[in-house]
Amino acid sequence: MTIAKGEKLPETTFVTMTENGPEPVNSGSYFAGKKVALFSVPGAFTPTCSAKHLPGFIEKAADLKAKGIDEIACTAVNDPFVMGAWAKSAGAEKTVTMLADGNGDFVKALDLEMDGSKFGLGTRGQRFSMIVNDGVVEALNVEAPGDFKVSTAEYMLGQL
C-alpha cells in the first residue's frame, strides 16, 4: 500500500556523494528533527527532470526555506556517482541534497516504483514530491504518468 499523509517514512539507506566519495545515509537519521522538501524523479539527466524538476527546486529554494523548509532533497533510482554528477552539472550542490536510491529500496518501501522497461530504464521511482516533518509525511504529491504538475516546487510552495 502506498505511503500516505501522516505516516512515518520507512527505514532505508540512501547513498550520497561527498568529498570523500559515496557515503551511506540512514533515512531515519536524515529526516529526524527537520522539515524536508523531498522530490523524486524517474532519472537524473532525463528531459523533464533536468529541464524543469530539479531547476525548479533550485530556483525556489529560498522561497521554500522562507516558508519553513530546512532542507531540500532529491531522490532517484540512480547510483551516487550519477546523482553527484547531475548535482554538479545543474549547480545544485549547495542547494539540493542528492539521495541516491540505487536499488530502489526507498521507492519500493513507499510503493511508488514504476516500470520504465519500455524506455530501457527498468524499475524506477515515480515522479512525486512530499513534505516530510521529522520523518512523517505531511503532504504527498504523486504525478499521473507523463504529468508534471503536482510535484513541482511551485505546487509545494502553495502547500506550505
Residues catalogued as catalytic: 49
Q: Kindly state whether residue 6 falls inside one of the protein's structural domains.
A: no
Domain of 143, CATH number, reads 3.40.30.10
Q: How far is CA 58 from CA 7, 31, 91, 117, in A?
A: 27, 20, 8, 29
Report the domain count for the chain. Answer: 1
**Is residue 158 packed enough to be buried (19+ CB in 10 Å), middle (13-18) or exposed (0-12)?**
exposed
Q: Kindly state whether residue 8 falls inside one of the protein's structural domains.
A: no
Q: What is the pLDDT of residues 65-83, one digit of tens each?
A: 999 999 999 999 999 999 9
Q: Kindly state whether residue 1 falls inside one of the protein's structural domains.
A: no
pTM of structure: 0.94
Q: What is the pLDDT of residues 45-57, one digit of tens each?
A: 887 877 889 999 9
Q: Kindly state whether residue 44 falls inside one of the protein's structural domains.
A: yes
Which residue range is the domain that position 102 belongs to?
A: 13-159
